[in-house]
């Protein structure tokens, strides 16, 4: 099941505190599918729907549509700070290449 690295969890908690959004959930959703495969995105949400799966990872409530449960089985949410810039990335262990959805066309 999807995991959240320590670094990503720390950054998410910092954002939630700074923006006064404690208790929000981190939604993982399918943003698009391109030649590199699926690209996931993240957003904060207040609640879940009946079609969602909710898991607690590293102190972060993570939600996603039940239809993505298999695709996200071996995915990891991380915070990256490097030559691509800094930000959150969803790494899909099932996809070849760098597997990070950082928007750099696979040059991470």
pLDDT in tens, 24-72: 999 999 999 888 788 999 999 999 999 999 999 999 999 999 999 999 9
- Using CA atoms, how far apart are residues 72 and 88, in angstroms rounded to an integer? 16
Domain range summary for the chain, segments of one domain joined by +: 3-92
Supply the CATH classification number for the domain 3-92: 2.60.300.12
In angstroms, how far apart are the furthest CA atoms of the chain? 40
Could you give the CA distance from residue 20 to residue 74 in angstroms, rounded to a whole number?
31
What is the value of pTM for the model shown?
0.81
């Amino acid at each position: 099941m999807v995991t959240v690295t320590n670094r990503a969890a720390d950054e998410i908690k910092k954002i939630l505190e700074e923006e006064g959004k404690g208790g929000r959930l981190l939604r993982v959703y399918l943003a698009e599918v391109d030649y590199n495969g699926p690209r996931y995105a993240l957003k904060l949400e207040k609640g879940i729907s009946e079609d969602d799966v909710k898991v607690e990872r590293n102190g972060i409530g993570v939600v996603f549509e039940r239809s993505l449960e298999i695709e996200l089985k071996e995915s990891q949410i991380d915070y990256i700070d490097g030559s691509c810039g800094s930000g959150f990335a969803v790494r899909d262990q099932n996809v070849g290449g760098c597997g990070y959805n950082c928007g750099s066309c696979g040059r991470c």
